[in-house]
Structure 1
Amino acid sequence: MKKISDLKKTMVLSLLALFCFALLLFFLYHYDNKYFQKSPQPVSGQYYLTEEDFKEQSVFFPVEDWAFYPNALLTPLDFKNQMSDVFIQFVTIGEYNDFSMGRPRTSPIGSATYRLTLHLPQKPAFYSIALPEVFSSYTFYVNDDLAVQVGDPWTGSYKDAVGNRVVSFEGSGKVTLTLCVTNRNHFYSGLIYPPVFGTSQDVQHLLTVKLVLRSAFLMLLFTATILFSYFAFKIRDKRAGIFVLICLTTMGYTAYPVVFSIWTLPVQPWYSLELFCLYATYFLTLSLQNNLCGISSKAAKISEIALLTFCAAALLYTFPFVNTGLPHSVFVILVRCVKYFTVGYLLISSFKTVADGKSSFNFLLVSTAAFGVSVAFDRLFPLYEPIYGGWFLEYGGFFLVFGFGYVLWQEMTEAYRFQMTFTEEKNQLTRQIAIQKAHYLELTEKIDEAIHIRHDERHHFRTIYTLLENKDFEAMEKYLKSCQEKTDHFTQTVFCQNMISDAIFKYYQTQSDAKKIDFQVMAELPPELPLTDTDLSILLSNLIENAYEACVRQKTSDPLIRIVAKYQRKQLMLRIENSYETPVKMKNGDYLSTKHDGKGKGTISVRRIVESYGGIVNFKINSQIFQVSVLLSFME
């Protein structure tokens, strides 16, 4: 019943989060969209801007009614000749992605000219116009002057190139902008992104803010890549490796504003790489989802193979032989299917995992649904060009990556914590085995000696009996003394009645004697204690091990370990003191290890055991003596 209640609560919170995310996208659509800025727009190729317009608004986005001359490369000189036979139409920038103008049987390959006449205030000022990624080569004129050329659009010397460019000029009154474009690729054609126009200072400010935001996003992904690469290498986690690839492919298809602002690049292979990174992200997210959710069914494998095959198809799509024919139409349909399938698969598998009681997937469920909302917005609101931020799919992709990162971080920290616990337990077990082995060898030696003594007893008795018969008491006394000297070393030291504690004390006494460490023990412990043998072994072994290692590192003074252990009135009291030379380092109240970076594992284990019994542990440093005091009370 509680499981159903938790699931309902999760669904309510998820729907609330999705509603908030949808509101965010709707807000961005209206307030971070070049198409929704309340500013003057061109009319029939004429763009009138007054001084009041510049006071009310810093930058402008001319998207409507550009004069468009298809299949013609026209320079300002051509327009001066007053051509009468050239076809003209007026277009909205971004309404169509290529020169086919939405007509399936028309080729996107060709040439065209865009023209816009600005009517600016009479007072001269410096203006700028930002041209983002004009496909795929162009020349741009301000009045009669060539302002910038990217690639080579002219027939016979065509060369494609893509880059973001800002053209600045001093102008007043009437200024004519002419853009001559040639495209021989089937991806996009011409001016598909609305330019930014305004005073040079305002345009530069907008572009800087946009570039900083995009760079910050890429740096966040890069940081996640470095962090999870470390975990992938450190704990050999395949899931971390897949997430690193997701971060890299996400950077691959979102870095274009930064890349094209710095460099001018040919369309190939950069566009192929960008497109491949986009659809490879879908494949990798599905693969990571299967690994996180433990899905290994035949359907899951088929899904991964299908998306991987589509990634290969996306690469083929970038080759020139794909045009406006059947391959292009099929690819567009496949893109939609892949998006919907990926969203549906991630949603269903995340919901199933949450329903099975894995609460860490709640956030992944929300982020997956957010990605689905972004896909829906991308289809419902096609006329969206962000001013500062990113596209809808980029926002959704960011939340999806963040969701995977959150779940994977929890999974890996849990795995890392388990690995550290396992390593510590393994070290404890190794130490206990060493103690038991040393204790066993000691007992074996004593048993062998006892066997030899018993074997020689009859010879001793016969000799003593003979001396007694001869009444040679002086010789008998000497013989008994020699026998006593031989058996004195057989006497076994016992530190206390508790077998576990006694074995640990004897082990470290042997170790200390080998290193010439003064090892002193005063122990009054009964055979049975109210804590488990495992906890007692971990407690004593860690504390004495730390003391022993500190003494081994000493070079000048005489090393010393002093142990006091008592059990009385249902209280176990331990005090372990040791000399040291290496300074003891602390951070946030915890002692740092001298063997590795981070906190000392031994002290952490000691604190955990003491706290489990409601006890007290105190560490004290005094005149080159490190002291640890432990008090465990077993009062009912």
Structure 2
Amino acid sequence: MRQGKVLQITFCVVILFSCAFFTFLYWNDNKYKNDPNEGIQYLYDNWEFYYSVLLTPEDLKKGDTKGAYMEYVTIGEVNNYSNHNPYREAHGCGTYVLHLQLASEKARYAIEIPEIYSAYRFFVNDELIGQCGEPGENDKNYREGIQTKIYSFEAAGECTLLLETRDESHYYSGMTYPPALGTESVVLQRVYRRIIFYTTIAVLCAFNILFTLYYCVKFRSSLKERSQRKNVMIFTGIAFCGILFMGYPLVHYLWQCRVHPWYTIELMSGYVITFLIVLLHNRLTQTRHIMEKGVGYGMVVLAAVMCVIVFLYGNFSARLTLRLEVVFSFVVFWYKIVIALYLVGRSVISVYRQQTEGVPLLTGSLFYACSYMWDRLYPKFEPIYGGWFAEWATIIMIFASGFVLWRRLLQNAKQAELLQKQYEEMEKQMKIQVRHMEKVNETVEYNRRIRHDFRHHLHAIDTLAKEGKVEKVSEYVANLSEYHKKGRSQGTLFCKNTVINALLQYYEDNADLSEIKTVIRVCADENLPVPEVEFCIIIGNLLENAIDASRPLAREKRKIEFYGKQEGAMYLISSVNYYEGEIRKRGRRFQSSKHTGNGVGIWSVERVVEKYNGMMTIDVGEEKFEVKIAIPIE
């Protein structure tokens, strides 16, 4: 029942959010919905197109179209020269002409020419303004070159824009994206915003990679499982492909690119991301059901096969026919639907099984699926600043997968750190037990020797007494008493509690090994303010920190004073030691001097004291560190 409500809420929220988000983009970040009053207009309508000919401004003036018919095209409706004519070739050449009516006074304008496939010459009226690549008079003189460029020119009144284009190598052909015309400041402002957007996305993907690598270095002990290492490697691949997939507009602004290999890499990156997301999705929502495993493997194989198809499609784009391009678009359409439905279905099952990964993955998968739906509902969309619908969906999926993976990795890191601390604590307890047993064995051995030698001492005393040597008897007894006093090795008796006494003896021995003078006075009987285990946590952490701080000091400064006693209804603990260097704090937490990050010892003591409604104060002097604790005795 609870999982059903979670699914209903997640579906409603994500679908409503995607509706609002993509509708907002459609009306506010769409070249086809741009307001011309903002000082810029996108030239997508009323273009004259002459198929299979390259016309110059002089040809137009003479009325010589070289036998080609003029037809009107809307830029963005198709991505090739066909203009909905299925009998045309996928490659070739064509001329685009647009007549504009500008202001009567001469002014300077800027025009952004996006990627035109795959070479062009650009004229304003009779003047050649610029070119990219070389369209040539035929395919032998053709030289590809693709780049987003900004040109400026002066014009007034009637103005004619002419673009000679040729493509012999790309899977697109001609002018696919509408140019932007306006004042220089407005055009450049929009270009800069677009660059900032894609730079931000690329930086975030790079941050994902750096964070993952940092985790691998810092918490490598938690990556001992092979599955965890694979998950980290897969996500690193997703983030790296995200940089390629979202960073291509930056490349096109900066450099003129050839079709091969750059556009194949650009096309492949999106499909490799999908493949890796499906793979990671399967690994994060693992199941024991054979049918689900089979479907999961099938989707991975499908995504891998699609990557191969896309690779071949990009590399052999020069040999494509229009029919093959249509078939490829059909295959891609259904492939995306199948993958989106699979990811959503797998996430729904994960939610029903109460897996913690379910809701984040379902959110990303639903948004991913909704992006395809809205792409069909809003086909006439090209972003001004941000990304396409599919790019936004990819970003959300990357961060949803990253969130799930990071959370799992951090949980593993915390668990590994906890296990390490437990191991260290067990090792410390073993040392205390071993040391205590050694002292017990020494005491037993000493008592055995006493019993063995006792009759010899009696014979000696009896002989001296019979001889009347009373003074010798007294001297012998005194020497014997001193001998036994020096021979005792059972350790200092600090208190009646055996466990606490053994712990205090352990730390006293550690301090003696480092030549640290200790003054320990602890009264601990059955009436302790906290359970015995937690009392040992307080004593152990305070004494261990004090010994660690005292070791680097000069011998005369190595001193620890530790007191514990009951006064009225309170149990008071005081620990004093000296130190050198800087004591660092971050907020309320002391920073460790043994490793980077927060210290654990003082924090553990604080938690025990707070648990039993006690008070704890820490006084940090220039060389003196003092901890005072008061815990009520119930």
TM-score, with length taken from structure 2: 0.91
Matches within 5 A, 1:16-31: 16-31=13-28
Counterparts of 2:410 and 2:486 in 1: how far apart (Å)?
Answer: 54
Residue 101 of structure 2 is aligned with which of 104, 107, 119?
119
Give the C-alpha shift of residue 186 in structure 1: 4.4
Name 1:601's counterpart in structure 2. Answer: 600
Name 1:66's counterpart in structure 2. Answer: 47
Deviation track 1:512-536 (CA, whole Å, cap 9, x = no partner) reads 1222211011111015746444323
Whether the 8 Å contact between 2:576 and 2:624 is mirrored in structure 1 is: yes
| Greater displacement, 256-265 / 433-442 | 433-442
Name 1:398's counterpart in structure 2. Answer: 395
Counterparts of 1:401 and 1:145 in 2: how far apart (Å)?
Answer: 47
1:457 aligns with 2:449: no
Counterpart of 2:297, as a letter, is K
Counterpart of 1:93, as a letter, is I
Counterparts of 2:87 and 2:456 in 1: how far apart (Å)?
Answer: 118
Counterparts of 2:633 and 2:361 in 1: how far apart (Å)?
Answer: 46
Name 1:548's counterpart in structure 2. Answer: 547
Counterparts of 1:501 and 1:440 in 2: how far apart (Å)?
Answer: 15
SS of residue matched to 1:630: strand
TM-score, with length taken from structure 1: 0.91
**Compared with structure 1, are the counterparts of its residues 614 and 420 closer, same or farther at alpha carbon in structure 2 (3 Å cutoff)?**
farther
Deviation track 1:408-434 (CA, whole Å, cap 9, x = no partner) reads 333233223223322222222222222
Counterparts of 1:161 and 1:534 in 2: how far apart (Å)?
Answer: 75
1:309 aligns with 2:298: no
Identity %: 29
Name 2:269's counterpart in structure 1. Answer: 277
Counterparts of 2:556 and 2:326 in 1: how far apart (Å)?
Answer: 85
| Greater displacement, 161-170 / 225-234 | 225-234
Matches within 5 A, 1:192-591: 192-235=176-219, 236=223, 237-238=228-229, 239-295=231-287, 297-320=293-316, 323-324=320-321, 328-358=325-355, 361-491=358-488, 492=490, 493-527=492-526, 529=528, 531-555=530-554, 557-567=556-566, 571-591=570-590
SS of residue matched to 1:318: helix
Give the C-alpha shift of residue 211 in structure 1: 1.7
SS of residue matched to 2:116: coil
Q: Which runs of 5 or more structure 1 residues have no equivalent in the other structure?
A: 40-55
Whether the 8 Å contact between 2:566 and 2:572 is mirrored in structure 1 is: yes
Counterparts of 1:497 and 1:534 in 2: how far apart (Å)?
Answer: 16
Counterparts of 1:548 and 1:272 in 2: how far apart (Å)?
Answer: 64
Give the C-alpha shift of residue 168 in structure 1: 0.7
Counterparts of 1:150 and 1:528 in 2: how far apart (Å)?
Answer: 89
SS of residue matched to 1:287: helix
Counterparts of 1:544 and 1:620 in 2: how far apart (Å)?
Answer: 16
Name 1:179's counterpart in structure 2. Answer: 163
Counterparts of 2:551 and 2:470 in 1: how far apart (Å)?
Answer: 52
Whether the 8 Å contact between 1:104 and 1:324 is mirrored in structure 2 is: no
Matches within 5 A, 1:35-74: 35-37=32-34, 39=36, 56-74=37-55
Q: Which runs of 5 or more structure 2 residues have no equivalent in the other structure?
A: none
Name 1:47's counterpart in structure 2. Answer: none
**Compared with structure 1, are the counterparts of its residues 331 and 451 closer, same or farther at alpha carbon in structure 2 (3 Å cutoff)?**
farther
Counterparts of 1:263 and 1:374 in 2: how far apart (Å)?
Answer: 30
Whether the 8 Å contact between 1:446 and 1:490 is mirrored in structure 2 is: no
Superposed CA RMSD: 2.4
Counterparts of 1:575 and 1:530 in 2: how far apart (Å)?
Answer: 15
Give the C-alpha shift of residue 373 in structure 1: 0.8
Counterparts of 1:305 and 1:372 in 2: how far apart (Å)?
Answer: 20
SS of residue matched to 2:391: helix
**Compared with structure 1, are the counterparts of its residues 531 and 556 closer, same or farther at alpha carbon in structure 2 (3 Å cutoff)?**
closer
Whether the 8 Å contact between 2:10 and 2:359 is mirrored in structure 1 is: no
Whether the 8 Å contact between 1:218 and 1:251 is mirrored in structure 2 is: yes
SS of residue matched to 1:255: helix
Residue 157 of structure 1 is aligned with which of 141, 144, 147?
141
Give the C-alpha shift of residue 360 in structure 1: 5.8
Whether the 8 Å contact between 2:569 and 2:632 is mirrored in structure 1 is: yes
Counterpart of 1:269, as a letter, is P
Counterparts of 2:259 and 2:472 in 1: how far apart (Å)?
Answer: 111
Counterpart of 1:627, as a letter, is E
Give the C-alpha shift of residue 278 in structure 1: 0.1
SS of residue matched to 2:315: coil
Name 1:108's counterpart in structure 2. Answer: 90
Whether the 8 Å contact between 1:499 and 1:527 is mirrored in structure 2 is: no
Counterparts of 2:327 and 2:466 in 1: how far apart (Å)?
Answer: 119
Whether the 8 Å contact between 2:528 and 2:633 is mirrored in structure 1 is: no
